Amino acid sequence: MNNNCAVILAAGEGKRMKSRHSKVLCEVLFKPMLGWVLDAAAAAGASDRCVVTGHNCGEVEGYLQSREDGCETVRQAERLGTGHAVLQAADFLSRHAGGHALVLCGDAPLMDAQSIRGAYEAHIKQGNAVTVISAVVGDPTGYGRILRSEAGGIFGIVEEKNADEGQKAIREINSGGYWFSVDGLLAVLGELPKNPVSGEYYLTDAIALLLGRGQKAGAFAAGSEDVVLGANDRVQLAALNERARAAVLNGHRLAGVSIPCGDGVLIGPDVSIGADTVILPGTILRGKVSIGEDCVIGPNSLLEDSTVGSHVKLNAVQCYQSQIEDGVTAGPFVHIRPNSLLRAGVKVGDFVEIKNSVVGNGSKVPHLTYVGDSDVGAHVNFGCGCVTVNYDGKSKNRCVVEDHAFIGCNTNLIAPVHIGEYGYTAAGSTITDDVPENALAIARARQVVKPMWVKGRQEKDG
C-alpha cells in the first residue's frame, strides 16, 4: 500500500457564474465539477482526498457529506493564492509523509484518471519531487507557461502576466494539476514567497524551491487539451457540457449502444448501458443509472438514479430512484416515482403513475391509473382509470393486491385494503373492505332505469 493522497483546491468564488452557489458545484452533465475531480483522483489511485474550501464552504462541505466517500476538508479563510491554499492542508499532508500528493483544481472537471496516472508513472520513473500535468494547447492565453530545460525536466512555470514575448509563445501550459512528493512539498510550502504584485502565494513557485534543494522537476503532457478546461461563466460551462456530452455519447456508441441522433440526449458520467440498447432523442439519464442490453429508451425519457434490466422499452417515461426489471414496457407518458419496483414483464401504459410500489411479474397497468404505496402481485390486471386511494388527508396507507387479481375499470381501492388472489372488483367500484380470494366485489349503487322519464318531464314542463 502506498501513502498517496490528493489535495483539491476549491476555495475560488467564481463571480462570473453569477450564482449564489459555489463555482465548483456548478454542474457538468448534472454532476458538480468538484465531483468529477474527486472521482478522477480516486480512479487514479488517490482515494484519500482533502478539499480546500473557502467561498461558500458550508455548501461545499454539505455536498461532500452527501457523497459519503469520506473526503476531508480544510478551510482557507482568505484567498491568498494556490500555494497558500495547499498550505492549509499541511496537517493532512503530514499524515501522508513518504507518499505522493496529487494537487488538482476543483474547477477543471475534465482532468481524467488516465492523464493523472500517466503523470504519476512519469513522476516515479523520473524520481521527481514535482511533476506538472501540462497540455499543449492552441491558445495558451491566461495560463502559466511551462519552461522546459535542456536536460529534459522543467525549470519553472511563468504566469501570463510575468511572461516575456518569447515565453508567451510557449503553447505548453500548466493544467493546475501536479504530483508532488509529500516530503518535498511540505519542506517548501512554508517558504513560498509572496508575489510582490498580487500579494498571493503561488504553488508554481514550489518548483524553483525544490530545484534549489537539488530535487527534480518534470512535466507530463496530457493527450488532450480538455484537462485544463475550466469554466468561469455559464457560456464556458455550456461549452464544457457539450464537450463532455459528446465524449460520453461516443464512449457508449463505441461500447455498442445505438444513439442514432444525439439531439437532446444528455447522459451523465455515472451511467452504464448494455450493448444493443437504443437511446432515442430527448432522453436524459442522470445520476447513477444502469441500463441492460437490447432496450429502447426514449424518445423523451428521463431516468434518475435508477436500474433498468434488459429488453426494456421506455417511451416518454419519467423514472426516479426506482428499479425496472427485464422485459418491462412503459409509456407513453408514464411517471414512476421514487422507490418503485416493476418486476419482469410488467406492462405500464399511457398516463399511469406508480409511486413507492411493487408491481409483480407480468402485471398490467395499461391506462390512466395511479398505483401508490401498494404491493401488487404477479399477473394482476388493472382496468382503465383505477386509483389506489392511499391518502386520507392525514396518513398514507398501503393497498395489497395479490396474484392474478383483476381490478375492474374505474375502481377506487381505499387503502388500507387487501384484494385476495384471483379476486375481482366490478367496474366503477369504490372498495373499502378487503376482498377475499376468488371473490367478486361490487361496490356501487345498482342501476335504476326509469322508462319514459324524459317524456314525463317534458309534459310536466308544458
Residues binding ligand UD1 (CB under 6 A): 9-12, 52, 54, 76, 79-82, 84-85, 105-107, 143-144, 157, 159, 173-176, 202-204, 228, 230
Choice among 21, 100, 367, 379 that is catalytic: 367
Residue 23 CB, shortest distance to ligand UD1, in Å, is: 7
User: In residues, how long is the chain?
Assistant: 462
CA distances from 93 to 43, 185, 213 (A): 20, 9, 20
**C-beta of 175 vs 300, nearer to ligand UD1:** 175
Please answer whether residues 69 and 42 qualify as being in contact, where contact means their C-beta atoms are separated by less than 8 angstroms: yes
**C-beta of 90 vs 278, nearer to ligand UD1:** 90
Give the residue nearest to ligand UD1 (CB). Answer: 144
Rounded Cα distance between 388 and 418, Å, is 11
If you search the block for the grid coordinates 489535495, which residue do you land on?
7
Rounded Cα distance between 91 and 101, Å, is 13
Q: At what angle do helices 33-43 and 57-67 cross, to 10 degrees?
A: 50
Query: Which residues on adjacent β-strands are paired with residue 289?
Result: 271
Sign, CA dihedral 228-230-232-233, equals positive
Residue 107 CB, shortest distance to ligand UD1, in Å, is: 4
Q: How many helices (H) and strands (E) does the chain have?
A: 10, 40
**C-beta of 230 vs 299, nearer to ligand UD1:** 230
Residue 253 CB, shortest distance to ligand UD1, in Å, is: 31
What region, left, alpha or beta, does residue 389 occupy, with left being phi > 0 and alpha being psi -120 to 50 degrees? beta
Residue 74 CB, shortest distance to ligand UD1, in Å, is: 10
Nearest to 363, CA basis, from 387, 349, 343, 384: 343
CA distances from 266 to 230, 246, 365 (A): 20, 9, 29
Residue 132 CB, shortest distance to ligand UD1, in Å, is: 9
Which grid coordinates are listed for 277? 440498447
Residue type at position 167? Q
Q: What is the CA radius of gyration of the chain?
A: 31
Residue 111 CB, shortest distance to ligand UD1, in Å, is: 10
**C-beta of 63 vs 382, nearer to ligand UD1:** 63
**C-beta of 185 vs 346, nearer to ligand UD1:** 185
Please answer whether residues 346 and 322 qualify as being in contact, where contact means their C-beta atoms are separated by less than 8 angstroms: no
**C-beta of 209 vs 354, nearer to ligand UD1:** 209
Annotation marks residue 123 as catalytic: no
**C-beta of 207 vs 291, nearer to ligand UD1:** 207
Residue 304 phi/psi, 5-degree rounding, is -130, 130
Nearest to 399, CA basis, from 382, 384, 413: 413
CB contact set of 31 (below 8 Å; sequence gap of 6+): 109, 268, 269, 270
Residue 154 CB, shortest distance to ligand UD1, in Å, is: 12
User: What residues are annotated to the active site?
Assistant: 367
